[in-house]
A and B are shown apart, each in its own frame.
Chain A
Amino acid sequence: MNITLLIILCALVTFIPRVIPAIFMERLNFSPKFEKFLNLIPYTALAALICPGVLTVDPNLWYIGLIGAVIAGGLAWKKVPLGAIVILTVIVLVAVYLIVPFFPVLI
């Protein structure tokens, strides 16, 4: 695939919706229904991005992603700040990777 073309096209389809309201400052109207639909997209997008992708974080060890997701979910439940969640999850996974070789059953 032509990656340069991909980047340019993705940049365009992202920039055009951003710039239109900036050019036409007068109010653009949406029906509340359409607005609700748009507001739901980030949630459904997150759901679809997580599942089943999280199970392929490490193609050789499917449960690595699952462990990470459970840890991140638990920390988020406890209202740990976003940046800390990301860093802590990575640290725990490094620990898991270090432990796994000692338990051949897990591999």
Chain B
Amino acid sequence: MHGLRLGIPITFGYIPMGIGYAALAIKAGLTPFETVSMSVLIYAGAGQIMIATMLAQGATLFNIVLTSFVLNFRYFVMNTCIYNKVDDASLAVRIPSSHLAVDEAFAMFMLMEESSIWTYIGLAGIAWLSWIFGAIIGVIVLNVLPIIVANSFNISLYALFVALLVPAVKESKELAILVVITAILNVVLQFFIGNWSLIIAILLGALIGMYIVDDDTVLGDEYKAADETCSNKEVQQ
């Protein structure tokens, strides 16, 4: 119960974002059932948005699956930290709870003193439920909303992308340069390799970033603190 309350701030972001995702998914031609299923089964904010965007752009199945894998692989790193931190728990608890890993829940939990897996499940679980809830509201509401409002919801995800990127770019000039380089790469590559440009630009961008971005600026303050907590744990072990 304690964890549920801690997760409430996350829900404020996830419900509107979930609605925005649903708008995009429906526009891309998914049924309401498929739209909500993705939120339940895949549960990856940017990942799902990317799937909907790529579907709308006519990408192939293989291309979409591969891009999902690359974009969502960071959860591997996050869960490595989370399951290093939690007190011992049985496999029956650890396996289903691993599905709840997302950036916001990870950052929050890693910054806490507490290491109970149930606290983590509470806060990460309510984030998951609010994401699903947002998608459900989205598919219901978009049917009754006037077309102008529904169209305006298309921007919500881009608004969120920009809002996530701006604080990082504001902090680091190198990161800002990397963002511009990646954007240009994506536009240019589209002329040569079509839909593959997204994944190639993401990977090439990260590779270039390894040389131009300072080690310390790669992570935001909360992530940095979270990462330290993670490394401290390693040292203790």
Contacts and interface: CB of A to CB of B under 8 A. Distances in A.
Interface of A: 1-11, 13-15, 17-23, 25, 27-28, 30, 32-33, 35-54, 57-58, 64-65, 68-69, 71-73, 75-77, 79, 81-83, 85-87, 89-91, 93-94, 97-98
A47 B182 contact: yes
A83 B179 contact: no
A37 B237 CA distance: 25
A35 B207 CA distance: 12
A3 to B, nearest CB: 5
Contacts of B179: 43-44, 46-47
B49 interface: yes
Interface band, chain B: 35 or more
Interface of B: 12-13, 15-17, 20, 30-31, 34, 37-38, 41-44, 46-47, 49-51, 53, 55, 60-61, 64-65, 68-77, 79-80, 82-84, 91, 94-95, 97-99, 101, 103, 148-149, 151-156, 158-168, 170, 175, 178-180, 182-187, 190, 197-198, 201-203, 205-207, 209-210, 213, 215, 218-219, 223, 234, 237
A49 B197 CA distance: 11
Given A86-B17, A97-B151, A14 B94 contact: no
A72 B196 CA distance: 28
Contacts of B41: 7-8, 11
A68 B13 contact: no
B163 A15 contact: no
A14 B75 contact: yes
A67 to B, nearest CB: 8
22 contacts: A3-B30, A5-B61, A9-B65, A18-B76, A18-B99, A19-B99, A20-B76, A27-B234, A33-B210, A37-B210, A38-B206, A39-B219, A39-B223, A43-B182, A47-B201, A52-B183, A54-B158, A54-B162, A68-B155, A76-B166, A86-B163, A89-B159
B213 to A, nearest CB: 7
